[in-house]
């Protein structure tokens, strides 16, 4: 028996070593761009022009980060990316909060307060998840112009709430579909109405799917470029559009170290969100976000 198990044990170790080697290779492949951006963002411009972008900096400097944040020439004034970072925060926070709250209520209604035609409505909302960004540009521009919020942060919030509502509804609907109906019936028998049942029973149990929805919406809205470039004015321009203007500037010297620092600053919020709550994202998906 010992002889028969030895080859199997050795094969298992070999397979595990091969698996780890492949995973490390993929990790290096995906982390390499981040390494290049970080390393070159703390180099002097002369050192970058000398080549070998993969090497560690000979002279460490944070001047490119300071320039990218507060002194880079993006518009008329050398304001850096800081005003546009604030614009993105003012856009992302309400858009994520509103779309998550509406998605939770939609999921609640579509699973626990059924009505004639609810499946048709859910199907239409699910269909909205597959509509390309480009198709909604002209209709959304007309709507924003009609209600007088074109070129404003409020307009961008509305655009992202409307476009993300299909996804948030899908997440919460599938999560609540696995929730026991007996608890809802018991709450109704105890006199709990629509809002009390939602706020006292379902919402306190929705932590995992709320995390999934917040991460999904935060990432999509923060990284969006098309809606920001199409619907924002200069005063409401989000971070991604400002970074594009910084990198694409055709005047002056190309400060590549400042560009790298700006790219890291633009990616930093989403990186922090995934590092802090990435494990909860996986738990939320396993708890029912992709079921149904």
Contact assessment for residue 89 and residue 157, using Cβ atoms and an 8 Å cutoff: no
- How confident is the model over 142-155, as pLDDT tens digits? 999 999 999 999 99
Ramachandran class of 201: left when φ > 0, alpha when ψ lies in -120 to 50, beta otherwise: alpha
Domain ranges of the chain: 90-238+268-289
Non-local CB neighbours of 263 within 8 Å, separated by 6+ positions: 37, 243, 247
What's the rounded Cα separation, in Å, for the pair 21 and 23? 5
Q: How many helices (H) and strands (E) does the chain have?
A: 13, 0
Angle at 64 between CA 219 and CA 243, to 5 degrees: 35
Please say if the pLDDT value at position 20 is more than 70.
yes
Which tens digits make up the pLDDT trace of 215-268?
Answer: 999 999 999 999 999 999 988 999 999 999 988 875 667 888 999 999 999 999
Sequence-distant (6+) residues with CB within 8 A of 227 are: 133, 156, 159, 160, 163
Q: Quote the pLDDT of residue 292.
A: 45
- Pick the more confident residue, 117 or 97: 97
Where residue 191 falls among pLDDT bands split at 50, 70, 90? confident
Q: Which of 271, 254, 241, 255 is CA-nearest to residue 85?
A: 241
What band does 290 get if pLDDT is binned at 50, 70 and 90? very low
- Number of neighbouring beta carbons within 10 Å of residue 180: 8
Cα separation, 108 vs 202, in Å, equals 8
- 187 contacts: CB under 8 Å, gap ≥ 6: 196, 197, 200, 201
- Rounded-to-integer distance, Cα 102 and Cα 53, Å: 47
- Is the confidence at residue 73, as pLDDT, over 70? yes
Q: How far apart are CA 272 and CA 166, in angstroms?
A: 26
Tokens of 37: 């951006």
**What's the length of the chain?**
292
The dihedral region occupied by 72, where left means phi > 0, alpha psi between -120 and 50, and beta the remainder, is: beta
- In this prediction, residues 168-182 reach a mean pLDDT of 88
Is 157:94 a contact under the CB 8 Å cutoff? Answer: yes
* Most confident stretch, 18-22, 122-126, 195-199: 18-22
Query: In the structure encoding, which two tokens stand for residue 269, read together?
Result: 């919020």
Domain 90-238+268-289 indexed as CATH 1.10.3720.10: yes
Instruction: Quickly state the pLDDT bin for 1 (edges 50, 70, 90).
Output: very low
């Amino acid at each position: 028996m010992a002889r028969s198990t030895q080859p199997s044990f050795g094969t298992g170790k070999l397979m595990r070593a091969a698996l780890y080697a492949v995973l490390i290779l993929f990790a290096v492949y995906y982390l390499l761009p981040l390494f290049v951006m970080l390393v070159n963002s703390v180099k002097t411009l002369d050192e970058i022009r000398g080549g070998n972008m993969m090497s560690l900096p000979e002279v460490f400097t944070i001047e490119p980060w300071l320039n990218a944040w507060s002194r880079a020439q993006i518009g008329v004034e050398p304001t850096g990316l800081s005003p546009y970072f604030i614009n993105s925060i003012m856009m992302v926070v309400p858009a994520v909060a509103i779309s998550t709250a509406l998605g939770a209520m939609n999921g609640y209604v579509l699973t626990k307060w059924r009505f004639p035609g609810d499946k048709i409505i859910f199907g239409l909302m699910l269909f909205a998840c597959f509509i390309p960004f480009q198709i909604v540009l002209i209709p959304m521009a007309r709507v924003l112009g009609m209600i007088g919020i074109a070129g404003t942060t409020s307009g961008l919030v509305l655009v992202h709430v409307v476009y993300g509502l299909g996804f948030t509804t899908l997440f919460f609907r599938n999560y609540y579909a696995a929730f026991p109906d007996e608890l809802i019936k018991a709450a109704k028998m105890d006199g709990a109405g629509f809002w009390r049942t939602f706020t006292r029973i379902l919402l306190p149990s929705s932590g995992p799917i709320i995390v999934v929805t917040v991460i999904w919406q935060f990432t999509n809205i923060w990284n969006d470029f098309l809606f920001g470039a199409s619907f924002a004015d200069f005063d409401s321009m989000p971070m991604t559009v400002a970074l594009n203007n910084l990198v694409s500037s055709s005047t002056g010297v190309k400060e590549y170290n400042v560009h790298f620092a700006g790219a890291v600053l633009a990616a930093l919020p989403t990186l922090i969100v995934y590092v802090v709550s990435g494990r909860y994202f996986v738990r939320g998906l396993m708890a029912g976000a992709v079921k149904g």
